[in-house]
Amino acid sequence: MRPSEALSLLQGTGALLDGHFQLSSGLHSRQYIQCAMVLQHPTLAARLCGALAQGFAADDVSVVAGPALGGITVAYEMARQLGARAVFGERVDGRLTLRRGFHVEPEDRVLIAEDVVTTGESSIELLELIQHGGATVIGLTAIVDRSGGATEFPVKFHSLLSLTLKTFTQGSCPLCKEEVPLTKPGTRPPRPMLPESEL
């Protein structure tokens, strides 16, 4: 799938939002990508996740894991197309964990799947959790990389669409200065931001 096609699907379903948003990283942005708007359509989810799955078809994936909530649908649909199990990590007391009987085995080859990555914090946390369980993480994937390729991962990474969307600390955010109302759409409580002097 070409990046322009992925972008068109996001735009056509209203998944690209403009406003003043606080991301789960704690950073502020004019844009927010609400992939749930496109993933609510099973045929579109199958197209996007199928395109992602193609990049890992030769990797003998046995488990696809996604961080809740954004990664659940992506991990499930990719696992269906790869003939693998689907699991998701969810937060308990602020930390990702595998619950509901989910587990990985040392022989598992795990792919981490997300809807959107910005800093990659949730994906890396899930990757470390999977590795702690003894399994091998063979790659990480997302529909959208909103860092424009700036975020680095310790395993193979593939996204359908790479966008460079500006982010700001609270102290440097022009939208805060303009008193534009702030929206916090993410599912993870925003990480407290360090003072400017410590960044």
Query: Quick one: pLDDT at residue 193?
Result: 41
What single DSSP character describes residue 187? Answer: S
Predicted confidence (pLDDT) at residue 135 exceeds the cutoff of 90? yes
Spatial separation of the C-alpha atoms in residues 58 and 190, rounded to whole Å: 37
Query: Quick one: pLDDT at residue 187?
Result: 53
Give the pLDDT band (50/70/90) at residue 144. very high
Q: Which residues of 105-132 are buried (b: 16+ CB within 10 A; e: fewer)?
A: eeebbbbbbbbbbbbbbbbbbbbebbee
Query: Quick one: pLDDT at residue 26?
Result: 84
Q: How does the average pLDDT of the chain come out, rounded?
A: 90
Residue recorded with tokens 């931001």: 193
Q: What is the pTM of this model?
A: 0.84
Q: Could you tell me the two tokens for 139? A: 């790659």
All structural domains of the chain, each given as residue ranges with its CATH number in brackets, are: 3-187 (3.40.50.2020)
- 100 vs 165 pLDDT, higher one: 100
Give the pLDDT band (50/70/90) at residue 198. very low
pLDDT in tens, 9-54: 999 999 999 999 998 778 899 999 999 999 999 999 999 999 999 9
Query: Quick one: pLDDT at residue 147?
Result: 85
Please state, for a pLDDT cut of 70, what percent of the chain lies above it: 93
pLDDT mean over 60-85:
96
Q: DSSP strand E in the chain: where?
A: 16-22, 28-33, 63-67, 85-92, 95-98, 109-117, 136-145, 157-162, 167-168
Please state, for a pLDDT cut of 90, what percent of the chain lies above it: 73
